[in-house]
A and B are shown apart, each in its own frame.
Chain A
Amino acid sequence: MSGNAALGEAAVLSGCTCYFGYPITPQNELTEYMAKRMGELGRVFIQSESEIAAINMVLGASVAGARAMTSSSSPGMSLKQEGISYLAADELPAVVVDMVRGGPGMGNISPAQSDYLQATRGGGHGDYKTIVLAPGSVQELTEVVPLAFDLADQYRNPVVILGDGMLGQMMEPVSFDNIKPPKQYTKDYTLTGAKGRPSRMVRSLLFDTKEEEEHNWKLVRKYQRMEQNEVRYETFLTDDAEMVVIAYGIGARIVKGAIKRLRQENMKVGMVRPITVWPFPAAILQELAKTVHDFFVFEMSAGQMIEDVKLALAGKGRIHFYGRPGGIIPTPVELYRIIGRHYYMAARRKEQ
């Protein structure tokens, strides 16, 4: 199954009852899958007039109590940022998928990781954050989708699934057995018509600056809870590692191939793969920095996650970097050569 279609089925099984989307490559298979499946199930599907409309339909469906999702790719994600900011301000759950492609501007339709900063820094206006899940395989996509819906409901906050064109379009065997029926959440904020209760209002306009500041601090406390409880990552051969690569999503998958080759030549390279890129797994990097001196960041961008690695290491160790922006997908052999060269140079530096 393609990643896009698998994501769609996972959303259906996770109790997503509303999907709104606008065509953009490389995520069209998801919109098309939802058009078919949601129709079969009598759920809501709208091909909207724009990404802006789609995210606002999500907001409407969410405030009405539904599990709602939209998806797009980089240029479309820029358009959705207004709505994501409102979702965060209104404290409404939603799942937003970004199958990243090369940028900036129109860029191209090849896989890329150049939306990292947009995704992990809020992306729209105002002080807010979204949990950002970055799966590395089609199977893992099916695992993060139910998680994304649950986290969105639990924290009443939009959750972003950060994929890329490769993850969306590649075909892999996949099992959905891990997806359990959706949990029930008490929704005492939804607009359902004020039947037998006082009327409710959902708004983000707070003219009183004191009230707005208090609202901001309330959001910050929520984001702190996310940072404490929702960090997810995978470590790969870090126990004896002398160099640790940090890579996420499909980039990490290519790195894994490279590390297997490096290990055959006794180069002790391991990897930390953030699954949540926000909140970022800073603690494990700080822990590793007690014994490891060399860290290597690989991204399919000109260097965005490297900022989080620098913040996490806070001056400890040495950070190496290799990036391929513009939609280029390096091969494991290319990464094996580059990482190997840096490993060799680091070893020589230690000898001196």
Chain B
Amino acid sequence: MKKVYTRPKTMKEAHFHYCPGCGHGIINRLLMEVIDEMGLRESAICVAPAGCGMLVYNYFDIDTLESAHGRGAAVATGIKRVRPGNLVFSYQGDGDLAAIGTAEGFHAANRGEPITVIFVNNGVYGMTGGQMAPTTLTEQVTTTTPNGRNPILAGHPVRICEVFSMLDGTAYLERVTVNKPAAVIKAKKAIKKAFQCQLDGKGFSLVEILSPCPTNWKMGPVEACRWIDEVMTKQFPLGVVKEVS
């Protein structure tokens, strides 16, 4: 019988702690598949965040550092400057990159640090229980916007890819999602391109991944996946935002 699917070699044999229907598990697996396919297991160094993604080192069989909340891009900068030959990437959520770590992400991007940021955007602070994130949609209900996000009081959802695209140091920025098989295949290609961009020394690369969070969105997994297509992508359009040849 032909084996059509197996655990990536670089994935540890551990059970995910993620909630049912969460996108992190898919994204974790995609990253390790890409690292396997590109033969980067012995080169890769991951910087894990604070937030739902912080335990990736329980799943990734590569060298991993857990950084302070939001500081991933600064820590990755330090690692990459010492070890320019290694693949260095940070794994960051929307609170991590777009709120507390905006300065670190923005300036790493502006310096054109040849690192890759895997930016998981699910529009909420997941680990702390579903508070408003900088990427929470207008009128979206969270535990800290019980009447829906009011932009007059709480500002507007931040489009990181578009903001970073204005910086000369960024080389590759793409927004993808993982809400259906075709989208997952596209997400994998984007990760591969971002890593290749880093290996080619072109500059800063970032893949923003719209990721379902059924638990904090108070939806079923299927509904959450549909919501990404019907609502979330209106604010966060999918596709390549910037690619420097």
Contact = CB atoms under 8 A, between A and B. Distances in A.
Q: Bound pair: A and B?
A: yes
B61 interface: yes
**What interface size band does chain A fall in?**
35 or more
Interface in B51-73: 54, 57, 60-68, 71
Contacts of A61: 78-79, 81-82
A52 B82 contact: no
A203 B81 CA distance: 21
A64 interface: yes
Most buried by B among A48, A56, A62: A56
Contacts of B44: 193
B103 interface: yes
Contacts of B103: 49-50, 52-53
Interface in B77-113: 77-83, 86-87, 103-104, 106-107, 111
A44 B44 CA distance: 21
B76 interface: yes
A68 B65 contact: no
**What interface size band does chain B fall in?**
35 or more
Most buried by A among B43, B67, B75, B77: B75
B77 A46 contact: yes
A106 interface: no
A44 to B, nearest CB: 5
A201 B78 contact: no
Contacts of B156: none
Most buried by B among A48, A58, A60: A60
Interface in A75-101: 82-83, 86, 90
B75 to A, nearest CB: 4
Contact of B86 (A17, A68, A192, A202): A192
A53 B66 CA distance: 15
Contacts of A221: none
B198 to A, nearest CB: 14
B78 A57 contact: yes
Please classify the interface of chain A as helix (H, G, I), strand (E, B), loop, or mixed, using the class held by over half of its residues.
mixed
Contact of B66 (A17, A20, A49, A203): A203
A63 B106 CA distance: 23
B86 A193 contact: yes
A191 B82 CA distance: 11
Nearest to A49: B107
Most buried by B among A17, A49, A68, A196: A49
Nearest to A68: B78
B45 interface: yes
B62 to A, nearest CB: 5
A132 B63 CA distance: 31
A63 B54 CA distance: 18
B210 interface: no
Contacts of A62: 78
Contacts of A54: 74
7 nearest A-B pairs in the assembled complex, by CB-CB distance: A60-B78, A64-B82, A56-B74, A203-B66, A57-B78, A60-B75, A49-B107
